[in-house]
Structure 1
Amino acid sequence: MCNKLSYLLLATLLTLPSLAQALPDDRQQPIHISADSASMNERSGITVYTGNVEIVQGTMIIRGARVELHRNDAGVQRIISTGNPAQFQQQPSRNQPVTKAYGERMDYRVNKQEITITESARVDQGRDTFTGERIIYNMEKAVVNAYGSDSDSGQRVQMVIQPKTEGN
């Protein structure tokens, strides 16, 4: 059983390196934000957006019912999105499908290029799916860590990796 799990995890990790880098110009694009309301605290650097929030920067899109944007003099440092579910998507490279992530809460650490997705976390790339109670995805290092539930509910990490077809 342990060998099967190790093989499946290795196979999954081998399919995920394409998630490593978003399109190179995404981080150089302006950030567009739309929401029903916003509240900015200039001292703390935290802006809270509520109501059908959408943040777009290049191919990156973040959606949620409530989104906190944390800034300092160097720019946006952290984005926390909550929703039913919160959503993240980005195209890793021009020849790869869009990567989509869903969860009740997402915490995106911009400088680390790391997203922590919690509560019914799911990542989709093409036809492959990765689910768990918590997924930590480091885009820069192409490392994905998924965790099942610590509670008695027993939610386990699940992966569905589609077979490669001719031409893929």
Structure 2
Amino acid sequence: MKYRLPSLLLLSAATAFSGVALAEKADRSKPMNIEADALRHDELKQTSVFTGHVVVTKGTMVLRGAQVDVRQDADGYQYGVATAESGKRAFFRQKRDTPPGAPDEFIEGEGEVIEYDGRNDTVRFIRRAELRRYRNATLSDEVSGAVIVYNNLTDLFTVDGQPRTANRPAGAAPAAGGRVRAMLSPKEPPAKEPPAAVPAKPASAPALRPSQTLENP
């Protein structure tokens, strides 16, 4: 089944991640479209629950999960929570706004739960969380941890690892995904301009020798 949310349930802010690139600006004005097997909507509470292979698209933004809950507060800000099936992870992807001439950039993230906060314009990836940035089709940066929070307004993200449990010895190996891991590629240096051509010196005229005699025509 396909659902097109009315303006009452449209996300009012965009989402995403990367150096100087910000979320795709055009996504702010795009409608939200949702495909799911079932929908339960509560008009009084302004909540909608989509279940069954849910796919949410809003411009370049894509959010997938087994269930997605959407709600709206009294000020009109909207929130979404995507939950994955047992043993799997929900998925998020969005194109970045890049300067003219720069390669396309995309942000991807996964987690057992993905929370979108429309008021603060943040995305939160919970449990087995990963966040990746691509330049075109090339993986550029990647971070993983227990919880990742990405702020779309400031383009900053924080990563928390799994806290050490009291019953695990200090020297024991941490649980899978317990520590924060990151792979960050260096920035590409700006393209160098070719050196300016040195103008050629004009050819000098031959020197004139003084005449020692005067000749009649």
TM-score range (shorter-chain normalised) is: 0.7 to 0.9
Aligned to 2:59: 58
Verify the 8 A CA contact 2:18 2:96 in the aligned structure 1.
no
CA distance in 2, matches of 1:162, 1:66: 34
CA distance in 2, matches of 1:96, 1:110: 25
Q: Which has the higher strand share?
A: 1
CA distance in 2, matches of 1:118, 1:61: 17
CA distance in 2, matches of 1:149, 1:73: 35
Does 1:142 pair with 2:155?
yes
Aligned to 1:123: 131
Q: 2:146 aligns with which of 114, 120, 133?
A: 133
CA distance in 1, matches of 2:117, 2:182: 25
Aligned to 2:104: 96
Q: 1:17 aligns with which of 11, 14, 19?
A: 19
Aligned to 1:111: 119
Q: 1:159 aligns with which of 178, 182, 202?
A: 182
Identity %: 25
Aligned to 2:12: none
Verify the 8 A CA contact 1:60 1:89 in the aligned structure 2.
yes
CA distance in 2, matches of 1:27, 1:112: 14
Number of residue-to-residue matches in the alignment = 153
Verify the 8 A CA contact 2:48 2:69 in the aligned structure 1.
yes
Deviations 1:43-64 (A, max 9, x none): 1111000011011000111100
Deviations 1:16-36 (A, max 9, x none): 3345x2111101001101101
Unaligned runs of 5+ in 2: 1-16, 166-173, 192-217
Q: Which has the higher helix share?
A: 1
Letter in 2 for 1:55: V
Aligned to 1:67: 68
CA distance in 2, matches of 1:130, 1:166: 23
RMSD after superposition: 2.1
TM-score normalised by the chain length of structure 2 = 0.65
Displacement of 1:111? 2.2
Displacement of 1:74? 5.4
TM-score normalised by the chain length of structure 1 = 0.82
**Larger Rg computed on CA atoms:** 2
Match runs of 1:37-48 below 5 Å: 37-48=38-49
Counterpart secondary structure, 1:156:
coil
Verify the 8 A CA contact 2:145 2:162 in the aligned structure 1.
yes
Deviations 1:81-128 (A, max 9, x none): 011211111111154321001000011001211011110000010112
